[in-house]
Amino acid sequence: MAPKKDNLPLTLEQDNDSTGTITYANEVVAVIAGVAAAEVEGVAGMCSANGISEVFSRNSKNVTKGIKVEIGTEEASVDIYLIIEYGTPIQTACQNVQEGVRKAIEDMTGLHVVRVDVHVQGVSFEKENKETLVGLEELNTPVEAAKPVAKPAVKPEPVKEPVVEEPAEPTNEEPAVEEAPAEAEEEA
């Protein structure tokens, strides 16, 4: 890689008949590469070239850490220093990073990407540690607290109290004779 000339802009002549030129700063290509690499599943983050002093998470605002770019007249070369999540197939993750970075740079800038070198600097156990902590928290919670009591879906009908009829008070009137059943018999 080139010594510390990384941030110098480079002028690219796309067409000799055009009225101007297009200039890309190395930082622009590094941002494109950093975002593309961070989107790959299994990439825990990026780190500086020495890999130990600084580790940057996937959501870091400075996506160019761990990215070195060389730009030629019509070509680009990228070195990426990554930390991979534990349990991820490293070969697969690195190939996905190479393809994603190459495609992103070529699509956005029109530069031909000659090579994307991926340097795995470490393995992150954060995802596994979080899953373990969640599992331990679930084991430490009481069963009653862990499972909410389900409310019945249907409201029970209120219990009806039996109707108690009080004995009728004696009256001097004769009970009325019901004539309706007799009329029904005559009609039949």
Structural domain boundaries in the chain: 10-132
Res. 6: pLDDT tops 60: no
Query: How many alpha carbons lie under 13 Å from residue 106 in its C-beta half-sphere?
Result: 11
Q: Which residue has the higher pLDDT, 39 or 150?
A: 39
Could you tell me the pLDDT band of residue 2, with boundaries at 50, 70 and 90? Answer: very low
pLDDT digits (tens, 9 = 90+) for 128-185: 666 665 666 666 665 555 555 555 556 656 666 666 666 666 556 555 555 555 555 5
| Residue 48 or residue 38, greater confidence | 38
Q: Among 13-17, 23-27, 92-96, 121-125, where is mean pLDDT lowest? A: 13-17
What is the pLDDT, as a whole number, of residue 53?
37
Position 9 pLDDT exceeds 60: no
State residue 1's pLDDT score: 44
71 has a pLDDT exceeding 60: yes
Distance (Å, rounded) from C-alpha 124 to C-alpha 116?
Answer: 22
Which pLDDT value is given to residue 63? 84
SS3 helix, strand, coil % of the chain, rounded to 5?
A: 30, 25, 45
Which region holds residue 51: left if phi is over 0, alpha if psi is between -120 and 50, else beta?
left
Nearest to 94 by CA among 128, 44, 50: 44
- Could you count the other beta carbons within 10 Å of the beta carbon of residue 47? 20
∠ CA(27), CA(31), CA(34), 5° rounding?
Answer: 130
**pLDDT at position 96:** 97
CATH number of the domain located at residue range(s) 10-132 in this protein:
3.30.70.1350
Q: How far is CA 71 from the centre of its chain?
A: 33
Q: What is the pLDDT of residues 45-64, one digit of tens each?
A: 888 877 643 444 445 567 88
